[in-house]
């Protein structure tokens, strides 16, 4: 596929933040695809426990300065970047003092799910797409990992579907084991609505559970990767009912299968009923 552009969006990546097996996959898979000839970009949040000095993060002034609106509030978006010299890959970090500058990632010191995790997720998903637009870099393929990126497929197929940066982008979403046991705020789906969207577009996400977020991502994606062995039965049913192309778990150990799956998705004309 030559120098096709492949974007990874994830809430974790080794060595910057290692919470689950997602961090390993998001470190190894982009490098493998770069070796196959893809041009790679990676986006993740700049959580407070990511050490800027050790990881040599620095602000990208030309990308910073945007505001992401959530619930009629303007939230400044700061973009930082770090490189992985051994892999010649750049990782872009989305930062916001209010949402991300905390000692813990998704729960407080007592293990309570943060009450604003819904807004943190909305900020990250909107901010990721706006950052790519500002980069002027049109991805052919977008691969999302983890629940925090679950709104990206919905935004891509609604608000951004005719945007020059994304109008030809296909999206693959990886499903993992249950990422969290909390529930997002009851008005989460309403807050998540963007331009050219109605609450009907986010209805599938409304329960705010891990399974509901996955169901929404599945609904709007072009292809699904089963990236774990023990996936929630409700989520597996969503995958089955979607009739989308699927890369099964037994095939994910070989990166060649990802390459072929991207190729399949890129060349398949899929009709989305939105």
All residue ranges of the chain with pLDDT < 70 are 1-2, 85, 269-274
Domains present along the chain, CATH in parentheses: 5-266 (3.40.50.2000)
pLDDT value at residue 269: 61
Are 136 and 201 in contact by the 8 Å Cβ rule? The answer is no
Q: Give the side-chain half-sphere CA count within 13 A for 166.
A: 23
Q: d(Cα 242, Cα 98) in Å, to the nearest integer? A: 37
Question: Is this model's pTM higher than 0.85 or not?
Answer: yes
Distances (CA, A) of 130 to 66, 67, 94, 152, 214: 8, 10, 11, 11, 22
Q: d(Cα 88, Cα 223) in Å, to the nearest integer? A: 27
> Hey, CA dihedral for 257, 262, 264, 265, is it positive or negative?
positive
pLDDT value at residue 255: 93
Let me know the angle formed at the C-alpha of 27 by 26 and 32, rounded to the nearest 5 degrees. Answer: 95
């Amino acid at each position: 596929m030559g120098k096709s552009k492949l974007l990874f969006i994830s809430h974790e990546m080794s060595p910057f933040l290692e919470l689950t097996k997602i961090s390993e996959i998001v470190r190894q898979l982009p490098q493998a695809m770069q070796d196959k000839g893809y041009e790679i970009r990676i986006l993740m949040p700049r959580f407070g426990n990511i050490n800027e000095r050790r990881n040599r993060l620095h602000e990208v002034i030309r990308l910073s300065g945007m505001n992401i609106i959530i619930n009629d509030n303007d939230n400044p978006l700061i973009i930082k970047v770090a490189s992985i010299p051994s892999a010649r890959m750049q990782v872009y970090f989305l930062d916001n003092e209010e949402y991300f500058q905390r000692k813990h990632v998704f729960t407080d010191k007592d293990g309570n799910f943060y009450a604003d995790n819904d807004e943190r997720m909305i900020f990250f998903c909107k901010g990721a797409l706006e950052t790519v637009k500002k980069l002027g870099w049109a991805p052919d393929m977008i691969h999302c990992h983890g629940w925090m990126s679950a709104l990206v497929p919905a935004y891509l197929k609604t608000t951004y579907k005719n945007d020059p940066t994304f109008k030809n982008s296909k999206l693959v979403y990886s499903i993992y084991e249950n990422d969290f046991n909390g529930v997002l705020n009851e008005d989460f789906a309403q807050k998540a609505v963007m331009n050219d969207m109605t609450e009907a577009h986010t209805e599938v996400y409304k329960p705010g559970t891990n399974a509901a977020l996955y169901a929404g991502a599945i609904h709007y994606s072009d292809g699904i990767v089963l990236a774990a062995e023990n996936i929630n039965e409700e989520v597996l049913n969503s995958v089955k009912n979607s009739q989308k192309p699927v890369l099964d778990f037994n095939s994910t150990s070989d990166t060649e299968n990802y390459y072929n799956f991207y190729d399949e998705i890129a060349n398949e004309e899929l009709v989305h009923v939105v």
